[in-house]
Amino acid sequence: MEISSSVPFLNQDDFSHFFSLFPEMDDTFGVNLSSGNDSRKRRRKDGQDEPEDDEAGVNASKNGGGFKEFLASLMLLDEDEKQEQKQREIDFQQDKFQFDSTFNKENQVMNNYYNNLEQHYSQLNDLDQSRAKRARRSASSSAVTAVAAATAVPAGSSGEGCSSVQSGSGTGPAGHHRRLWVKDRSKDWWDQHNHPDFPEEEFRKDFRMSKATFGMICNELDSTVMKKNTMLREAIPVRQRVAVCIWRLATGEPLRLVSKRFGLGISTCHKLVLEVCSAIKTVLMPKFLQWPDEQRMRTIKNEFEAVSGIQNVAGAVYTTHIPIIAPKISVAAYFNKRHTERNQKTSYSITVQGVVDPKGVFTDICIGWPGSMPDDQVLEKSALFQRANRGLLRDVWIVGNSGFPLLDWVLVPYTKQNLTWSQHAFNEKIGDVQNVAKEAFARLKGRWSCLQKRTEVKLQDLPVVLGACCVLHNICEMNNDVIDPTARFELFDDEMVAENSIRSANAVQKRDQIAHNLLHHGLAGASFL
């Protein structure tokens, strides 16, 4: 029998309370029955029979017994429901226990599997490490044995190309021998140039500097580029490291030829060039390439005034281009249209902007901007422009060519047609100052031939190499190391008039005043007449 859950069942307490009403109901029925019995007794006494009243009493007793049976059936149903609920709970607990037991067993099996797997891989890793250690120890012992055997072999017993050294024991079951092949590279060329008796003139011609200057550079860089000896090989000496770099910069020879001259590997030579150039930038640039102090600035102004008759000239600025291989990114930015048109060959370049003093020594450089940028844009990107914006170039002139704009601190020639005599005189004197910068860049490119052609150095490493060339140029100029006339280089940088050539009205008035003074005070000369 199925009963809806919306029907409220009576519990035992309710039944008990309900049963408590039975006596009252019985009493009620009893009263009626008793009253009926009494009346029947009275009627019997009176001798009168009334059968209808007897039938009513029997019906009343039957109705009371049916209600009790109904309540008893409800109690049985409730008891059956409780038994079924208990049985369902027992079954649920058994299923849950069985599920938990199965899950725990499977989890334990998986944990054991992963533990065994980790242990297996750990053993494999330990085995690989032990093999690597044994291989390194074997290689080290073989190298040591080879070096010892090589030192024991008399001179002249080695072959021309490569020398083989036997190591290990031949007493094994197969009589196995190990061989270590060491490439025999000749260092005769470098040993000859490094000898104290090597002629000064030839050394200067090869390395673009004197022996004294070369020795000073080696002493300055000794602590930075020096390496320690190892068990396998001896470190390359500092002088040889510096010589590889300077020879590469001075001649621009391919690395394979540099490798043959110095008896080193090609990759080793390339690495040495970058390391020494980085050391020059770090150690020597703060000492030999810096903006002049007040005392040095007064000397520069006086020397430029003696050359041009123009007062307060702090330097001459010039921008040149260094050819490069077409880069992989931003190709259009490095495309040099002027060089391409002149040479009838596609050219790419980066710019080098420099400010020089009357002796041609660089006091400021800006390296690495793409070759498609004109001179005025390179100037705006330089630290020199930022220094001027901070007011550090007040009351001084930086002389530039027509590719630079006229500013409060940049003095450029007149570019219009039909110039007056005073303007012609001014342009002549500005040209004398500009020639100082052009000559300095010509000596820079003539001294370091790597700047004359496309280099093998990557674009990201090229600013360091160019900066090292400028620093070495300053060192040679300060030590009066004259460049060989045969190494002189002719500049061919085209000058393009800046789009906005005049950017300061105050500078226009000052330039006109300087031109007037040059003509009317007898400082202009007469070459323009």
Instruction: Tell me the per-residue pLDDT of 128-164, one tens digit each, with 9 for 90 and over.
Output: 788 877 877 777 777 666 656 555 444 333 333 444 4
Instruction: Tell me the per-residue pLDDT of 247-287, one tens digit each, with 9 for 90 and over.
Output: 999 999 999 999 999 999 999 999 999 999 999 999 999 99
Helix (H) or strand (E) holding 244: helix 238-251
Alpha carbon distance 457, 21 (integer Å): 114
Q: Comparing 374 with 157, which gets the higher pLDDT?
A: 374
- Among residues 397, 396, 392, 370, the alpha carbon closest in space to that of 381 is found at 370
Q: What does the pLDDT read at residue 528? A: 46
- Look at residue 322 and tell me whether its pLDDT is greater than 70: yes
CB 190 within 8 A of CB 264: no
Give residue 411's identity as a one-letter amino acid code. L
Q: What does the pLDDT read at residue 2? A: 40
Instruction: Tell me the per-residue pLDDT of 449-492, one tens digit each, with 9 for 90 and over.
Output: 999 988 878 999 999 999 999 999 999 999 999 888 888 888 87
Q: Please tell me the pTM assigned to this model.
A: 0.66
Beta strands in 381-445 (DSSP E): 397-399, 410-411
Q: What does the pLDDT read at residue 183? A: 62
In degrees, rounded to 5, the angle at the alpha carbon of residue 204 between the alpha carbons of residues 245 and 466 is 35
- Look at residue 191 and tell me whether its pLDDT is greater than 80: yes
Instruction: Tell me the per-residue pLDDT of 169-186, one tens digit each, with 9 for 90 and over.
Output: 444 444 444 444 446 678
Of the ranges 25-39, 75-89, 371-385, 498-512, which is most confident? 371-385
Q: How confident is the model at residue 111 (pLDDT cuts 50, 70, 90)?
A: confident
CB 518 within 8 A of CB 310: yes
Give residue 24's identity as a one-letter amino acid code. E
Q: How confident is the model at residue 314 (pLDDT cuts 50, 70, 90)?
A: very high
Q: How confident is the model at residue 523 (pLDDT cuts 50, 70, 90)?
A: low
CB 414 within 8 A of CB 512: no
Instruction: Tell me the per-residue pLDDT of 329-356, one tens digit each, with 9 for 90 and over.
Output: 889 999 998 888 888 888 999 999 999 9
- Among residues 423, 396, 390, 422, the alpha carbon closest in space to that of 408 is found at 396
DSSP three-state, residue 384: helix
Q: What does the pLDDT read at residue 408? A: 94
Q: What does the pLDDT read at residue 148? A: 60
Task: Tell me the angle at which helices 266-279 and 462-478 cross, rounded to the nearest 10 degrees.
Answer: 60
Of the ranges 55-69, 113-127, 275-289, which is most confident? 275-289
Q: How confident is the model at residue 238 (pLDDT cuts 50, 70, 90)?
A: very high
Q: What does the pLDDT read at residue 435? A: 95
Q: Is 393 exposed, middle or buried (0-12, 13-18, 19+ CB in 10 A)?
A: buried
Alpha carbon distance 151, 144 (integer Å): 11
Task: Tell me the angle at which helices 21-46 and 51-152 cross, rounded to the nearest 10 degrees.
Answer: 170
